[in-house]
Amino acid sequence: METEVKLTRLSGCAGCGAKMGAGTLAQMLEGFRTHHDPDLLVGYDRSDDASVYRLSPDRALIQTTDFFPPIVDDPFLYGQIAAANALSDVYAMGGEPRLALNILCVPEDMAQSTVREILRGGYDKAYEAGVIITGGHTIHAPESIYGLAVTGFVHPEKMLTNAAAEPGDLLILTKPLGVGVLTTAVKAELVEGPAQERLYRQMATLNKYAGEVIKDYPVHSCTDVTGFGLLGHSLEMAQGSGCSIHLRLSRIPCLPEALPLAEMGFVPAGAYRNRAFAQKSVKALSSPSRALEDLLYDPQTSGGLLLALPEREAEACLPRLARVCSQAAVIGYVTKPGDAPVLLEA
């Protein structure tokens, strides 16, 4: 659908590229007083995707929120992508989202029809996910921001975190990298046609379908790859699990146009923030090009799931994942702590 409003021209950063750097965020939260509760299974101190609170022996509450400035100009598609991205955190915790609240900021001069289309996109993805949007909050602001606060549920014993990978696990990534690079190039009108459609389709795809598949397998650890890039989220998994993560560069799926565009310099600012945070904990055992490294740090909007599970189970799970995530791939493995938390291999 066409729109006269160029939404991406109204924001300085797009999608998850607007996310505050992980190192800065940790420093800002350090030292705050907080209550301790044995039923809080996952809090902000864990660097995980969402909080989890035990309600009963067989039911826990998942809470998360995510929102960002426009990453596309089509307001309906923007709403879809923002909602898919927010819902993803619940799937990454092994849960099922059930309720959501809209979070919306709009410029005072934005047409009501545009605002309606953003909301319609969010409702469309929520409906696909089986989620009820029960309300929300809208304010006027200099630039548009949209997202959801999401509530989901999970059995406490089936909860997934980013801090339970085990030596011997294989790592599976369910969506290719390169979203930040491609959306940066879209702004320069260098990506269009089938490449642009493929990019938009990927960002609007729910992780629901991958989440349904992995429930049949003994996944040890899971996170979704979003604003901190593959290396940032891999580092959080390695540190939380007390393991080393080995990534095999030749096996990491990327969108076809991503590497040439990265070589041309279309790298979002968020990738440099991610590099500054994570690079001291990453050791290259091969010599990746600067452009390929940029893709590993590239912030992903509505990115895929990164899964750690036993080798035999990963080999059984992958064909089923590939039916719903065509580029799902085994991209590495987990070992006991080694020379660095994250190691890059050929």
- β-pairing verdict for 282-284 and 342-345: parallel
Q: One of 13, 16, 222, 243 is an active-site residue; which one? A: 16
Contact present, 147 and 86 (Cβ < 8 Å): yes
Structure tokens at 248: 């095999």
| Chain length of the chain | 346
d(Cα 205, Cα 233) in Å, to the nearest integer?
A: 20
**CA 108 to chain CA centroid, nearest Å:** 30
d(Cα 258, Cα 182) in Å, to the nearest integer?
A: 6
Backbone dihedral angles phi then psi of residue 237, each to the nearest 5 degrees: -65, -45
What are the residues whose beta carbons fall under 8 Å from the beta carbon of 310, sequence distance 6 or more? Answer: 166, 168, 169, 170, 218, 220
Is 16 one of the catalytic residues?
Answer: yes
Query: 3-class DSSP state for residue 238?
Result: helix
Query: 3-class DSSP state for residue 112?
Result: helix
Contact present, 19 and 49 (Cβ < 8 Å): no
Residue for token pair 């939380």: 240
d(Cα 218, Cα 227) in Å, to the nearest integer?
A: 26
Contact present, 252 and 329 (Cβ < 8 Å): yes
Structure tokens at 182: 């491609």
Structure tokens at 261: 């565009």
Query: 3-class DSSP state for residue 80?
Result: helix
How far is the first Cα of the chain from the last one, in angstroms, to the nearest whole number? Answer: 42
Query: 3-class DSSP state for residue 56?
Result: strand
Structure tokens at 104: 């919306």
Q: Which of 21, 44, 23 is nearest to 32 (CA)?
A: 44
Known catalytic residues are 16
